[in-house]
Chain A
Amino acid sequence: MINKIVGSFDEAIADMVDGSTLLVGGFAGAGECPSYLIGAVARKGVKDLTFVGNVGGWGPNLMEVVRERMAVILTIPEDFYDPGMLVGRGQVKKGIVTYPAAPGRFFTPMEWGIMQGEIELELMGQGTLCERIRAGKGGIAAFYTPVGVGTVVAEGKEVREFNGRKYLLEHALRGDFSLIRAHKADRYGNLVYWGTMRTFNPVMAGASTVTVAEVDEVVELGELDPECVVTPGVYVDRVVVRPKEPKPWEEAM
């Protein structure tokens, strides 16, 4: 019988080791981020991680500032544990991201790490990052994109002309773990999302040795309309359900 549902977040990442490359889904907000999986990685304490994702994250201190500033339009839930927590705890040695820095006069944990020389940064735009991941999951070794020619991201990369336009050679990117967030799953690992939760999450599914999905709800086989499944279960190895009520990340779960 195929059953990808696992009982706890800790169990879902139990085989993660120091030096792993993590692909972490979401944009920058609570609604798309695999918060409880991030909490489990923090509890496990694995180090020297390469973090791949859109943002380097706020971390708990800056999160309070963001929470306060956003309060007039959006309530940020108390159980939003973002990638900045892992960076702030010294677990990350390299970031492959599009948005490492905070706007204005603030500094993110990743930004501090880069400035201190403790974290290596590979900066690129979102389109290139997600296409590198898509290539990695889909068996494409590398591809040419017009984006970035003549800028900082082109340093050391092959430039080739097609039909009179210059393109950069970009290589596929794969991870050891993809940690993603979805709305509903069945025991085959089929996933559907909610709203803008599709940011980076579906593209990262299947782009690592192990893909773990953190979901709001598990449903019986057959309940997900096959016309509406976004991520077929073949890409997903483990599924964990989020708690109904917010829980502190420090608690084993």
Chain B
Amino acid sequence: MPGERLDEQVMALRAAKEFQDGMIINLGVGIPTYCSNFVPPEREVLFHSENGVIGFGPIIDDPDVADNRMINAGGQPISKKPGMALMDHAESFCIIRGGHVDITVLGSLQVSEKGDLANYMIPGKQVGNLGGGQDLAFCSKKVIALMIHTTKEGGPKIVKECTEPITAPECVDQIITDIAVIEVTPEGLVLREVAPGWTAEEVQALTEARLIVPPDLQEMTLL
């Protein structure tokens, strides 16, 4: 019997462990937005939002304080923070396309064993949204796919080949899920960490692509 699956907040906490002091980070909508809550105080990272702001403070949850003219790319109101900078949209995408974003954390529908990312077309829909995700997936120094390991029906999302249309080919560096941390390498997918109580075999059973299990496989640590 495998261990429990991690909840979304704990997944975000694990992804935030990747953020190093001084990094520029872009967080996609959904689970990735929670990562901003888990940056250790000794690390100073700057969050970039593609609508044209870098170095903003926490999301505001009080409509009486929120300003429609100060939002992130998810449409959430954000607070000002010393050192923050605003910019034109074209400048914001020079930051992205020019490779100045250190880590982007994106939700995903499927990731292939080569690191292809499929996340712009919701299954069952006929029209998809590329938004800012395509530029971020192509051009960030490191791309983390942060996602539930399987579909709602229990099917695999980490696959040999994406069956959903892809946002960007061979762009994902690391996959962080509710049961595992997987590194995308030229040799294939390497299982680096499993959630507490899970074995490599149990993770493989929920993964279509073959996982390489190294001798130094770790149990996920969160702090």
* Residue ranges of A at the interface with B (Cβ–Cβ < 8 Å): 27-32, 54, 70-77, 98-101, 103-104, 110-111, 114-115, 121, 123-128, 130-131, 133-134, 145-153, 183, 193-203, 230
List the B residue with the shortest CB-CB distance to A100: B127
- Contact between A123 and B97 (Cβ–Cβ < 8 Å)? no
List the B residue with the shortest CB-CB distance to A231: B88
Q: In this assembly, does B86 line the interface, its C-beta being within 8 Å of a C-beta of chain A?
A: yes
Tell me which residues from 27 to 85 in chain B have a Cβ below 8 Å from any Cβ of chain A. Answer: 49-53, 59-63, 66-73, 75-77
* Residue ranges of B at the interface with A (Cβ–Cβ < 8 Å): 49-53, 59-63, 66-73, 75-77, 86-90, 93, 96-97, 122, 125-135, 138-139, 165-169
Given A103-B122, A125-B133: A195 in contact with B67 (beta carbons within 8 A):
yes
- Contact between A195 and B97 (Cβ–Cβ < 8 Å)? no
- Kindly identify which residue among B63, B70, B139 contacts A31, using a CB–CB cutoff of 8 Å: B70
Given A27-B71, A27-B73: A130 in contact with B89 (beta carbons within 8 A):
yes
- Contact between A124 and B90 (Cβ–Cβ < 8 Å)? no
- Measured between beta carbons, the chain A residues less than 8 angstroms from B134 are 125, 127-128, 147-148, 151, 153
- Contact between A125 and B77 (Cβ–Cβ < 8 Å)? no
- Contact between B67 and A198 (Cβ–Cβ < 8 Å)? no
Q: A103-B129, A146-B138, A153-B130 given. 12 additional CB < 8 A pairs?
A: A27-B75, A29-B71, A101-B129, A103-B122, A126-B50, A133-B90, A150-B168, A194-B69, A198-B88, A200-B89, A201-B89, A203-B89
> A-B pairs with the 3 shortest C-beta distances?
A31-B68, A125-B134, A127-B135
- Measured between beta carbons, the chain A residues less than 8 angstroms from B96 are 127
Given A31-B70, A101-B125, A145-B97: A125 in contact with B135 (beta carbons within 8 A):
yes
